[in-house]
Structure 1
Amino acid sequence: MTDETPIVPDAKDWTWTIESRCPECGFDASTVEASQLGDAIRSATLPWGAVLARADVRTRHTPGVWSDLEYGVHVRDVCRIFDERLRLMLDHDDPEFANWDQDAAAVAGRYAEQDPETVAREIGADASALAADYDTVTGDQWQQRTGRRSNGSRFTVLTLGRYCLHDLTHHLHDVEAPDVTG
C-alpha cells in the first residue's frame, strides 16, 4: 500500500537543463547530438522493466514523493506527451502546447493503482514510438521547427528532445536505477 501523504508539487522550471548539466542527476543534455536522440531515449527507458518489477514498487520511500510505480507511469506519460509535441512541431508552424500538470495527471490517472507490468510494456512501446519519430527528423527541422509552452518557453525540435531526455534520465536517478545514457 502506498503512503497517503500528498505529493509535493514540483513547480520548478526545468528548461535550463537544455543548456546546463543537472546538479541533481549529473546529466548534461546539451552534449547530446541530434543524431543520438532516438537511441538515447531508448537507452534511458530500458531500466524501467527492472524498476517496475521491484517487490516494493508501490512503496513511497519518502513521504510526499512518488513511488517507483508512480514515477514509471509519469515516464510513460512523458514519452506520450513529448511525442505529441514533437509531431505538432513537425506538422504545424510554432504550435503552442497544451498545458500539462504532471501532478494533476498523477491524481487523475491514479498512477499509484496502475499495474506495473502493463506500465513497463507501455513505457517500452511509447518510448519506441517517440524514438522512432525522432529518427525521422532531418536537416533544418532540428533547429527551424519550433514550439512553445503557454509560459513562453520556446523549443526547437532539438531542444525539446534534450529537455525530454533529461526528464527521462533524471527519473532514473529518482528511483536509483542505473544510468544507461552515459
Structure 2
Amino acid sequence: MSDSENTAAIVPDVKDWTWVLERACPECGLETPAVVREDVAGMIRANAASWAALLGADGAALRRRPAPGVWSALEYACHVRDVFRLFHVRLGLMLTQDGPLFANWDQDETAVAKRYGEQSPAVVAEELVAAAEVLAAAFDGVAGEEQWRRTGSRSDGARFTVESFSRYLVHDPVHHLFDVTGVRHA
C-alpha cells in the first residue's frame, strides 16, 4: 500500500449506532440487548486485553490501512482508548449531574489531531489498558437501581440511562476489534 493510500482521509461514520441497544449487531455478532450490566466491566477488561495482545504485533503491519480511507489497527486502537476515556468522563457526569448533555466529539477530527497512525503501539497498549481499567472500575462502582437509571443525553437527542449507556459503550470496542481481526464476538 502506498503512503498516499495510508494517509487517505477517513470517510466519517455518521450512522446512529443506538440501534444496537435493540438488536444484535449483524457484523460483529454482539447481542448488545442481552448484555448484563454487571458484566460490562469484565467485558471492558477482556476487550482491552485483546487489544493489548494485538498491539504486540509488528508495528508496520499495525500502521497499514487495509484500504484507502479505512483506519489501521493502530488507529482503531487509539480510538478505542479514547472512547474508554470519553465514556469515563460521561459516566462521571451521569452519576454526579442530573441529566447532563454530553459535549460533541468528532472522532475523525480527534484521529487527525492526535495523529493516531503515528503513535507508538506499545504506548497505546499501555494507555488503552489503563483507560479500560479506570472505566471498568467506575462501572464496578455503580450501585443500586437509582444509579443505573440516571440519565445523560447526546446533542443529537439520544438519551441513555447508565444501564443502556454501559451496553451501548461495550459494543464500540467489541465492534472495532471485529473490524481489525474479522473475528465475531462469541
Please report the TM-score for the alignment, with normalisation by the length of structure 2: 0.93
Amino acid at match of 2:171: H
Q: How does 1:9-20 map to 2 (within 5 A)?
A: 9-20=12-23
Q: Contact 1:7–1:65 (CA<8 Å) still a contact in 2?
A: yes
Q: Which has the higher helix share?
A: 2
Q: How does 1:1-182 map to 2 (within 5 A)?
A: 3-55=6-58, 56-176=61-181, 178=183, 182=186
Amino acid at match of 2:29: G
Q: Distance in 1 between matches of 2:43 and 2:53?
A: 18
Amino acid at match of 2:42: D
SS at match of 2:181: coil
Per-residue deviation at 1:18? 1.5
Please report the TM-score for the alignment, with normalisation by the length of structure 1: 0.95
Per-residue deviation at 1:159? 0.7
Q: Contact 1:80–1:126 (CA<8 Å) still a contact in 2?
A: yes
Q: Distance in 2 between matches of 1:142 and 1:37?
A: 15
SS at match of 2:160: strand
Q: Distance in 2 between matches of 1:125 and 1:178?
A: 24
Q: Contact 1:141–1:157 (CA<8 Å) still a contact in 2?
A: no
Which deviates further from its counterpart, 13-22 or 71-80?
13-22
Q: Distance in 1 between matches of 2:154 and 2:16?
A: 11
Amino acid at match of 2:166: G
The share of aligned pairs that are identical, in percent, is 50
Q: Contact 2:142–2:148 (CA<8 Å) still a contact in 1?
A: no
Amino acid at match of 1:152: G
Amino acid at match of 1:165: V
Q: Which runs of 5+ in 2 are unaligned?
A: none
SS at match of 1:155: strand
Structure 1 vs Structure 2 CA RMSD: 1.4
Q: Which runs of 5+ in 1 are unaligned?
A: none
Tell me the number of residue pairs that the alignment of Structure 1 and Structure 2 aligns.
181
Amino acid at match of 1:104: E
Q: Contact 1:34–1:142 (CA<8 Å) still a contact in 2?
A: no
Q: Contact 1:94–1:145 (CA<8 Å) still a contact in 2?
A: yes
Q: Which digits, 9 at most, give the CA deviation of each residue in 1:54-102, with x for residues without a partner?
A: 2200000111100000000000000000010000000000000000110
Q: Distance in 1 between matches of 2:52 and 2:12?
A: 26
Q: Which digits, 9 at most, give the CA deviation of each residue in 1:10-36, with x for residues without a partner?
A: 010101112210111111111111211
